[in-house]
Structure 1
């Protein structure tokens, strides 16, 4: 049995699933205390903040590896420390949603939504579920603005193609990452995407400031809902 099959078998047990459920219900202070206490038992620091892999739990982003290791330790006494992709593949196979940011920042060190940054985004964006939606798009869009190519995390926002107010979801299929100003213009239908050519439409109203984007072909995530893109295009301000 290889590592992945071994971890799948362990995590699929009722005991581990129960422990994961229990850990996700803990408050922040209790979780941190338990993580530091229990991970110390296996001779390693508590991984209470993830820079790369997250388990999505309702509207929260949880540190995947810490939860997986703590759950295995509590349910079966398993103390092995596998690489994060092994835990991620096992959890995905069993139906958990795991997000990964593959884009390095600085000297190869991965960055994502730290707790402090996530809290700031939640405050700015106003809806707690927006943090999870943004995390999904950071993965599907490779942490890059679909229109401009900007890769500065602080400048990127999660943009709904079909508005939430009109029944749009927070799934990957209904979103793209856009730089903050481009997000605003997309919401106003002053920027759009031709569903046939995948080229950017720039309304005359915002010419010439955004003329450099006009006609640019964009690379859309494979999960994208092209019907939503078509609906947005049909409503766009073309004059």
Structure 2
């Protein structure tokens, strides 16, 4: 298992540390650059800017995406570490040495972290000796030996005394690692913001039914409703135009679980004396997600067709 110590803005950390029941955070970078230092479920730790050479918290890495600023805000809101979109624009403009007015809607890198934790001041961890003061973005470590192992053991001790708030499988697995045993990588529990960002990217920022690509009207829909046990996973998500999303959630449309084509309920006509536009979409094939993303499972589609759809 690898871990990564990323340098973060003090304001970002303190704002999020003060939020109650934070289930996910977006550790964003102001430009669209790649990140391949970690795999899903590995530890990402927060290190404050100099002169504070301490590790102050962390989370479990899910995925890195380059998305427009507007999508990052719509998906994560205050979990971006700022109170509002205006503050986020000003922060990015400062780092990019632009004015907020000239910023537009730039791509930023989103390192999406699940099950975050924030340490109180008395539990801050000094950075390893190899983490030099001139490191700007961060440094990776191998937890099998040396400083990486020592750092993991220290973080594990901090997690063992903190009772998880809600289901946190990756946190529990890390805390339960035997001393000098190999850390077990467990897929973290994703939050709503990560779900939205991943589903949006999975379908190439296009409605999976109509192909609509106007981003402000596209929404990530749960196939099996979250309230009915459906998880925040790409394999339980579809990117739909907002009107189709509402109809889907209310059971007026569904997707045949076998041929994956749209079904439109006759109830639209019966209840609203309308719906010509939607009946024109009857039989439309569902788009497949992009390579690297899991398609919706037949199990989830069947649940929606049998439990939600108004035939």
TM-score range, shorter chain: 0.5 to 0.7
Alignment of 1:229 with 2:301, yes or no, is yes
1:101–1:138 contact (8 Å) kept in structure 2: no
CA distance in 2 between counterparts of 1:205 and 1:89 reads: 48
2:27 to 51, 62, 70: 62
State the aligned residue count.
168
- Give secondary structure in 1 for the equivalent of 2:39: helix
Flag the structure with higher helix content.
Answer: 1
How far 1:166 moved relative to its partner? Answer: 0.9
Alignment of 1:199 with 2:261, yes or no, is yes
CA distance in 1 between counterparts of 2:224 and 2:41 reads: 30
CA distance in 2 between counterparts of 1:199 and 1:231 reads: 15
Flag the structure with higher strand content.
Answer: 2
CA distance in 2 between counterparts of 1:228 and 1:219 reads: 16
Q: Which has the larger radius of gyration?
A: 2
1:53-202 equivalences under 5 Å are 58-64=23-29, 84-85=33-34, 88-92=35-39, 95=42, 96-101=61-66, 113-115=71-73, 118-119=76-77, 129-202=191-264
2:75–2:193 contact (8 Å) kept in structure 1: no
Question: For 1:1-60, what per-residue CA distance to the aligned partner results, in whole angstroms no more than 9, with x for missing partners?
Answer: xxxxxxxxxx94x6xx3x33x749x542869xxxxxxxxxxxxxxxxxxxxxxxxx9422
Compared with structure 1, are the counterparts of its residues 186 and 63 closer, same or farther at alpha carbon in structure 2 (3 Å cutoff)?
same
CA distance in 2 between counterparts of 1:62 and 1:29 reads: 10
Structure 2 unaligned runs (5+)? 16-21, 43-60, 84-189, 269-274
1:161–1:175 contact (8 Å) kept in structure 2: yes
CA distance in 2 between counterparts of 1:146 and 1:30 reads: 39
1:38 matched residue in structure 2: none
Query: How large is the Cα RMSD of the aligned pairs?
Result: 3.6
2:75–2:194 contact (8 Å) kept in structure 1: no
TM normalised by structure 2 equals: 0.46
- Give secondary structure in 2 for the equivalent of 1:113: helix
CA distance in 1 between counterparts of 2:12 and 2:79 reads: 18
2:283 to 192, 210, 215: 215
1:47 matched residue in structure 2: none
2:12 to 20, 23, 28: 28
1:101–1:139 contact (8 Å) kept in structure 2: no
TM normalised by structure 1 equals: 0.58
Question: For 1:87-111, what per-residue CA distance to the aligned partner results, in whole angstroms no more than 9, with x for missing partners?
Answer: x233237833223258xxxxxxx66
Compared with structure 1, are the counterparts of its residues 117 and 187 closer, same or farther at alpha carbon in structure 2 (3 Å cutoff)?
closer
Q: Which moved more, 1:206-215 or 1:192-201?
A: 206-215
Structure 1 unaligned runs (5+)? 1-10, 32-56, 67-82, 103-109
**Greater relative contact order (CA < 8 Å, ≥ 6 in sequence):** 2
How far 1:120 moved relative to its partner? Answer: 9.0
How far 1:149 moved relative to its partner? Answer: 0.8
How far 1:64 moved relative to its partner? Answer: 4.9
Question: For 1:73-125, what per-residue CA distance to the aligned partner results, in whole angstroms no more than 9, with x for missing partners?
Answer: xxxxxxxxxx933xx233237833223258xxxxxxx66624477539999xx
